[in-house]
Amino acid sequence: MVEFVVSVPSRYPEESRLGVSQIGELPEFGQVWVWDMLYAQIMHALAGSQEAHELKEILDVWAVNMSSKIYQPFEHVRSKGHTRLSEALEIGDPVSDPVKLTVKVSGVAAEIPAVKAEIPEGTSRAARAALVLALAQYFIDGNELFAKELPLHVLAFRKYYADVRGPDEAESVEEAPIYAIQKALEYFNSVARGTMQ
């Protein structure tokens, strides 16, 4: 079992510094799968809300920009600020009485993990959306591979939500992450073969 605890200030988004702590170890290659599952769950929970639209827009804009830079030297990309999801988001100790949202990851090695978000009752939609952004930024900051893979996953989610099912449909919670993984694999395989499709 691995846990990520995201602390969101009670005055979020006016105060936008979020805390992230990790209990247990998660292999770096497993981070993108965990994030995909969390994103699909939160998008479904927030479906149709302004917060869902804003979350998707922040991620889509970042992914379009970052996707053209995934083969550039990573330190150069980071130094230019391209690895920051949003200027308004900062990872550090939150400054006011925070709400703690927990992401629990369980499963056996080499199997798809189970991802469960534990969110206190009454937590705002904005704080739920912040959970997705905070965990993404936390992984980006610590894992170059995640930072380079995430844009492809976000763009695959965008295509899924536009062409297959909206986030309001229950099936999207399981289907969208699988779709994102498949599309990212197809992309990297086509690059490896030298035949961009």
Percent of the chain past pLDDT 70, that is, above it, reads 95
pTM of the model: 0.93
How would residue 190 be classed by pLDDT, with cut points 50, 70 and 90? confident
Over residues 5-30, mean pLDDT: 92
Domain boundaries, the chain: 2-191
Pairing of strands 98-106, 2-9: antiparallel
The pLDDT value given to residue 47: 96
Pairing of strands 90-91, 17-23: parallel
Task: Give pLDDT tens digits for 43-88.
Answer: 999 999 999 999 999 999 999 999 999 889 999 999 999 999 998 8
* 160-188 as b/e: b if 16+ CB within 10 A: bbeeebebeeeebbeebbebbbebbeebe
pLDDT at 191 over 80: no
Tokens of residue 178, six digits:
């699988």
How would residue 192 be classed by pLDDT, with cut points 50, 70 and 90? low
How would residue 197 be classed by pLDDT, with cut points 50, 70 and 90? very low
Mean pLDDT taken over the chain: 92
Tokens of residue 23, six digits:
């209990």
Characterise 175 by phi-psi region: left (phi > 0), alpha (psi -120 to 50), beta (else). Answer: alpha
CA torsion through residues 6, 89, 26, 115, sign: positive
Closest by Cα among 159, 196, 162 to 179: 159
